[in-house]
Amino acid sequence: MAMADKTLIEGIREALDEEMARDPRVFVVGTDIGPRGGVFLATQGLYAKYGPKRIIDAPLAESSIVGIGIGAAMHGLRPVCEIQFADFIHPAYNQIANEAARMYYRTGGQYPVPMVIRAPYGGGVGGGLYHSQSIEATFAHVPGIKVVVPSTPADAKGLLKSAIRDGNPVLYLEPKKGYRMIKGEIPTGDYTTPIGVARVSRAGADLSIFAYGMMHHFALQAAMEAAALGIDAEVVDLRSLSPLDTEAVLASVRKTGKALIVYEDNKFVGYGAELAALISEEAFQSLDAPIVRVAGPDAPAAPYSHPLQDYFMVNTKTILAGIRKLAAY
C-alpha cells in the first residue's frame, strides 16, 4: 500500500471525506464546522463538497449537538458530532452517559447508536483552563461507549474510519497539540485501524512505557534519549482506552518487569490509575519494581502563563526522569 506523509489533522480530514463519500448516511454536526471548516480546520473544504445538509453548523449547545446525533443514529444515520474543545463536553454528559452509552443495553439491542463524538483535548497550546483539559478518564469509566485516542496520522485516519463504521458510540479524542506537530505516513486507499488493539511502537527489554495521544509522541522521544544512556525502553501506544488491549499491556510488563505509565491528565484517579491496578492485579509476580506514573499535577487545569503551563505539562524531560527513576530501582 502506497504511503503519503501527512499531519494528524490531515488524517482526520481525509477520514471524514472518505467516509462521507463512501456512505451517504454519514454527516457531521458541530459549531463553526461549515464554511469556516472548524476552529482547527478539520472539516475544511467539506462544506463546499457535501453541502449544508451533511456538514451542519450548530449553535453553541453541546447537549443539542449530541442529542441530535443520538436521535439520528437511532434512526439509521451515522452522525459525527464535533465538540469544539473537550472542555465544553460536560453539558452533553447526560446525553452521552445516560442515553448514547446505555441505549443498546436498555433496549436489548433493538436500538444501536452508531455515532462518533470528536473532541480536541489536552494542553500545551496556551489555552488555559477551558481549552486544555483531558477528559478521557471520565468517559472511559462509562460502560457502553468506546474511547479512542490516535497518536499518529495513520491511526488518526484509521481509527476515525473504524469509529464511524462501529455499531455503537465512540468518543474520538484528538490531541490538539499534535494536530500539525505530528507528521507521518498515511497509507493511501481504504483501510481501518481496529479499535481495542494497542501497538508496540518501540520494542525494548528494560522497562515498558504505556502512553497515548500526545504523550505517546513524547514517550518515544524520551525512550530514544534513554537509549543513549543504556536504557532499553519498550513503548506501547494504547490507541484504545476502552476497550483496552489488556493482553498487550500484560505481555509487555511480563517481558520487561517494569511499568511506566504516562498521561497528561491529573495524576489522582487519572486513566493511568486503572492501568496500574490492572498490572498489579494480573502481573504482580512479573514486576521487579513499583509501578511509576508520570502525570500532570492535581491542579484544575493548565495555566495561561507559559512558564506555569510548561511546569504543568508532561513532556520528554519529565518522562525521561521517570524512566531513569524506574530503571535505577
- Phi, psi of 186, deg, nearest 5: -120, 125
Q: Which residue has the cell 444515520?
A: 77
Q: Catalytic one among 75, 131, 141, 217?
A: 131
Annotated active-site residue 217? The verdict is no
Contacts 24+ apart (CB under 8 A), 225-233: 225/316, 225/320, 226/320, 226/323, 226/324, 226/327, 229/324, 231/206, 231/207, 231/323, 231/324, 231/327, 232/204, 232/205, 232/206, 233/202, 233/204, 233/206, 233/207, 233/208, 233/209, 233/260, 233/323
Rounded-to-integer distance, Cα 187 and Cα 101, Å = 32
> CA triplet 127, 132, 133: central angle to 5 degrees?
160
* Catalytic residue IDs: 131
